[in-house]
Amino acid sequence: MASIRKRNNTYQITVSNGRDVQGKQQIKTKTWKPDPRKSNHQNRKELEAFAFRFEQAVREGSYLEGETITFQMFAQLWLEQHAAYHLRITTRNAYEYTIQNYLIPAFGSYKLTKLQPLSIQIFYNQLRHAKRKDGKQGTLSSSSIRKIHNILSSMLSTAVQWQLIESNPCRRISPPRQQKLNTENYFTLEQVQLFLELLDKPYFTTCPSHNRINETGKSYPVSEYQAHHTIPLQQKLFFYMALFGGFRRGELLALTWDDIDFAEKSVSITKSTISYKGKQMEDLTKNYSSMRVVTLPDSIMTMLKNYQIEQKQYKVSIGNQWIGKNYLFIQWNGKQMNLSTPYHAFKKIIKNYNDSVKDESKKLPDIPLHGLRHTSATLLISQNVDVKTVSNRLGHAQTSTTMNIYAHSLKKMDEKAADTLEQLIQRR
């Protein structure tokens, strides 16, 4: 039976587990700390239950401790017992890649309690000069090393919770600072207005001379010609919603008509579309706070109504070829739109416009598709919309996330506030 001994403000539970081959007694100990918010009777019952579970685990051989378990063993447990239940599929896949390619090669044989801050610091310093594991040229960036650090720290925090180690060694070192790149990843107000104008303008592409085959199977030449194009309503709607709602690509592609509330002029975000091991699938939103309801302006709701009518008419026109569900954004047969389609359409619009403009200063910046979400937030902040509201629309878990990402906009607002105050005081 387990023995319980009080030591200051904690209790030490001791279990004898027989003797080893040399006749030495095998003793296992564990510390339990009472909850000051609970009564003595409640704490006593919990202590006895804790001691019973500890003794049972020791007897059955299922008790693990940081002095005997290796990092590799722990990593497998962490993936199976924590990551599988708390992380999204894409996040879990990225974590597993990092664990298998970086952390296990470095620390796999270490006993968990022997993983010291200095060992981890040396590992980070070595990563600065080591070749990449993904086959790309060069070494890992500071941001990539920081991500490895965040994964390792998250794992070791779980080890603390599981009482395998007493503290997280990652909290005693200095990981590389993330490098802030000065690349443009959003549109200015003038650029947004231009981009939206382009969605309504026809554009032309040059088709070079080539040969075609007629109905009789004979080849005949076709001279070079200009092809006339217009951007489909579906694509326009996608870009408008990304901009006016600040939605992520996966959130938009996961939308069904059931998520649209025309009466309340709102969209419910409850899921996301992801790519996992080459397959497109539906998953949870990025985090719990990403599940949200976002209000859209009247113009977007009108566009949605018109598109719904167009989609219904199209569905009737192709008859039994329609095999899709109830998605807003679709392929020709009603199936959910491919994740890569909006990206290619977005890049094509920017390229076609920039190719037609000689003045470099008038060209649109080649921002990523996700830049429309950044543009939405940046413009809202520039118009003095409070950070809390912006954060809620974006689905950020904390306003600090919004403030860190959009520090550039907040800095400009701070400068504007200083100028305003100066003008106000100097008038007198």
pLDDT recorded at residue 182: 47
Q: Which one, of 46, 42, 41, 39, lies nearest residue 11 by Cα?
A: 46
79, 143: one domain: yes
What pTM does this model have?
Answer: 0.70
Q: For the chain, which residues score pLDDT lower than 70?
A: 20-21, 61-66, 178-184, 408-410, 413, 417, 420-422, 424, 426-428
Q: Which two tokens stand for residue 57?
A: 């685990």
Domain that holds residue 79: 71-172
217 with 307, same domain? yes
Residue 340 lies in a domain: yes
How many other C-beta atoms can be found within 10 angstroms of the C-beta atom of residue 16?
14
> Do 218 and 254 fall into the same domain?
yes
Domain of 88, CATH number, reads: 1.10.150.130
Task: Specify the pLDDT at position 428.
Answer: 54
Type of residue at 308: Q
Residues 262 and 395 in one domain: yes
Same domain, 206 and 302: yes
User: 199 and 159 in one domain?
Assistant: no
- pLDDT confidence of residue 62: 59
The distance in angstroms from the start CA to the end CA of the chain is 83
How many alpha carbons fall within 13 Å on the CB side of residue 321?
Answer: 9
- Which distant-in-sequence residues (6+ apart) come within 8 Å of 71 by Cβ? 103, 104, 107, 108, 109, 110, 111, 112, 115
Do 315 and 271 share a domain, yes or no?
Answer: yes
Domain end: 13, 35, 60, which one?
Answer: 60
Measured CA to CA in angstroms, residue 395 lies from 261, 269, 289 at distances of 18, 9, 5
Same domain, 125 and 194: no
Task: Note whether 352 and 222 are same-domain residues.
Answer: yes
Q: Kindly report the backbone phi and psi dihedral angles of residue 69, in degrees, each rounded to the nearest multiple of 5, phi listed first.
A: -85, 135
Establish if 337 belongs to a structural domain.
Answer: yes
DSSP 321: G
Do 34 and 137 lie in one domain? The reply is no
- Nearest-CA neighbor of 242 among 251, 254, 233? 251
For residue 291, the one-letter residue type is M
Nearest residue to 162 (alpha-carbon basis) of 83, 81, 58, 86: 81
Taking the CA of residue 72 as centre, how many other CA atoms within 13 Å lie in the half-sphere pointing to its CB? 10
The reply to whether 234 falls in a domain is yes
User: 183 lies in a domain?
Assistant: no
- Report if residue 260 sits inside a domain: yes
Residue 296 belongs to domain with CATH number? 1.10.443.10
Query: How many domains does one find in the chain?
Result: 3
- Residue 308 in any domain: the answer is yes
Q: Is residue 422 part of a domain?
A: no
Return d(Cα 184, Cα 25) in angstroms, integer: 66
Residue 421 lies in a domain: no
Residue 11 sits in the same domain as residue 105: no
Structural element, H or E, at residue 404: helix 399-405
Instruction: Say whether both 166 and 252 belong to one domain.
Output: no
